[in-house]
Amino acid sequence: ALLAGPPELLGAPMKRFSPAELASRADGVFVARVATVGSHDSMSGATTWSDYSVELLDVLAGDFSTSLLTLSFADGGPDGGGGGVAGLPKLRVGQEYVFFWDGAPYRPCPAIGGQQGIFVEAVDPVLGEDQPLLVSLAGDPLWIDETGEIRRGERVVLEGDRVVSLAPNRRDP
């Protein structure tokens, strides 16, 4: 039998999307704070989905008629506890994120490129507290270059909202 599903969930490397590709593929881009986390079972009962209720703080692209949105991840487990599809991010209640949102229903992750499409403001000890960066949950920091274009840096390792090191394997998939 053939396995079906997104390559990153099957252990295959996923193409790293450029910031422009993330934006062009997204159905919306927004800043949101996680308000609550819950869970629900799929209709067949085969998968438990983690449901994150998020409060939209700033809509950068797209049309949203509500200030609250539920984002569901097929990572399973009660209240985001995991145990389902490996490799999906776990969001923290109270944390703010930038989402490049994939509006297609029933995807395992509601962000473009999975963890590549969800960003958190992080502090790099080298840059200091007064120069936070946006870093994807996949570890890709962003910055604006001298021409005004958004660029992606070398992958880093995050612990919460702090950069702790460069990623050990920095090869682009």
Collapsed DSSP state (helix, strand, coil) of residue 7: helix
What pTM was estimated for this model as a whole? 0.80
Average pLDDT over residues 92-97: 95
103 token code pair: 């509006």
**pLDDT (0 to 100) of residue 111:** 93
Classify the phi-psi angles of 79: left when phi > 0, otherwise alpha if psi is within -120 to 50, otherwise beta: left
What values do phi and psi take at 124, rounded to 5? -105, 120
Instruction: Please state, as a whole number, how many other Cβ atoms lie within 10 Å of the Cβ of residue 161.
Output: 14
1 burial (CB, 10 Å; 0-12 / 13-18 / 19+) is exposed
Distance CA 80, CA 85 (A): 12
For the chain, give the number of residues: 173
User: pLDDT band at 167, cuts 50/70/90?
Assistant: low
**pLDDT (0 to 100) of residue 171:** 46
Average pLDDT over residues 93-122: 92
Distance CA 97, CA 172 (A): 24
- Is the alpha carbon torsion for 95, 90, 45, 13 positive or negative? positive
64 token code pair: 């949203």
74 token code pair: 């097929």
